[in-house]
Structure 1
Amino acid sequence: MTTVYDTPVDDRFPSFTVGPRAIEVLPLTATIGAELRSVSLAEASRDAELFAELRALLLEYKVLFLRDQDITRAEHVALAERFGPLEDHPVAGSDPEHPGLVRIYKDLDSKPEHYENAFHCDATWREAPPLGSVLRCVEGPPVGGDTIWVNMAEAYRRLPEHVKQQIDGLKARHSIEASFGAAMSEEQRHALHARFPDAEHPVVRTHPETGEKVLFVNAFTTHFTNYHTPENVRFGHDYSPGASELLNYLIRQASVPEYHVRWRWTNNSFAIWDNRNTQHYAVQDYWPAVRKMERAGIVGTPTF
Structure 2
Amino acid sequence: MTNTAESVDSMPFRSSTIRFEPLTCTIGAELFGVNLGEVARDDVLFAELKALLLKYKVLFLRDQDISRAEHVAFARRFGELEDHPVASSDPDHPGLVRIYKDLDSPAEHYENAYHCDATWREKPPMGCVLRCVETPRIGGDTIWVNMVEAYVKLPEDIKARIEGLRASHSIRATFGAALPTEQRNRLKECFPDAEHPVVRTHPETGEKVLFVNGYATHLVNFHTPKNIRCGIDYAPGSSNLLNYLISQASIPEYQVRWRWTRNSVAIWDNRSTQHYAVQDYWPAVRKMERAGIMGDRPF
Q: Does 1:70 align with 2:65?
A: yes
Q: Is the 8 A contact 1:182 1:189 kept in 2?
A: yes
The 2-side partners of 1:80 and 1:10 are apart by 35
Does the CA contact (< 8 Å) of 2:87 and 2:109 recur in 1? Answer: no
Equivalent residue for 2:284? 289
The one-letter code matched in structure 1 to 2:231 is G
CA contact (8 A) 1:134 1:297 kept: yes
For residue 15 of structure 1, the aligned residue among 12, 17, 25 is: 12
Percent identical pairs in the alignment equals 72
Aligned pairs for 1:156-235 (under 5 A) are 156-235=151-230
* Farther off after superposition, 42-51 or 246-255: 42-51
The letter of the residue matching 1:91 is V
**Displacement after TM superposition at 1:49 (Å):** 1.2
Question: What is the aligned counterpart of 2:75 among 51, 57, 80?
Answer: 80
For residue 14 of structure 1, report the CA deviation from its aligned partner: 5.0
Paired position in structure 1 for 2:233:
238
> Do residues 117 (structure 1) and 117 (structure 2) align?
no
Rounded Cα–Cα distance in structure 2 between residues aligned with 1:53 and 1:140: 29
Aligned partner letter, 1:163 = I
Task: Determine the C-alpha separation between the residues in 2 that align with 1:113 and 1:126.
Answer: 18
Is residue 59 from structure 1 mapped to residue 70 from structure 2 by the alignment?
Answer: no
| CA shift in 2, pair 1:92/1:293, >3 Å | same
3-state SS of the aligned residue for 1:100?
strand
- The runs of 5 or more residues in structure 1 that have no matched partner are 1-8
- Taking the aligned partners of 1:85 and 1:232, their CA distance within structure 2 comes to 41
Query: Number of aligned pairs?
Result: 294
SS at match of 2:296: coil
Return the letter of the residue paired with 2:230.
Answer: F
Structure 2 counterpart SS, 1:248: helix
Q: Within 1, Cα distance between the matches of 2:170 and 2:106? A: 23
**Shift in Å, 1:82:** 0.3
Structure 2: gaps of 5 or more residues? 1-5
**Match among 279, 283, 289 for residue 274 of structure 2:** 279
Matches within 5 A, 1:254-265: 254-265=249-260
- Whether the 8 Å CA contact 2:130–2:291 is kept in 1: the answer is yes
1:111 Cα deviation from its structure 2 partner? 3.8
Partner-residue secondary structure (3-state), 1:232: coil
Tell me, in whole angstroms, the C-alpha distance in 1 between the residues paired with 2:58 and 2:15: 17
Contact 2:61 2:266 in 1 (8 A): yes
Whether 1:99 and 2:94 are equivalent positions in the alignment is yes
Query: What is the match of residue 4 of structure 1?
Result: none
SS at match of 1:182: helix
CA shift for structure 1 position 115: 2.4
User: What TM-score do the two structures reach when normalised by structure 1?
Assistant: 0.94
Maintained 8 Å contact 1:115/1:179: no
Distance (whole Å) between structure 1 residues aligned to residue 199 and residue 11 of structure 2: 33
Give the partner amino acid of 2:13: F
Going from structure 1 to structure 2, the CA distance change for 1:235 and 1:12 (only over 3 Å counts) comes to farther
Match of residue 49, structure 1, among 37, 44, 48: 44
CA RMSD of aligned residues (A): 1.4
The 1:240/1:10 distance shift into structure 2, 3 A limit, reads: farther
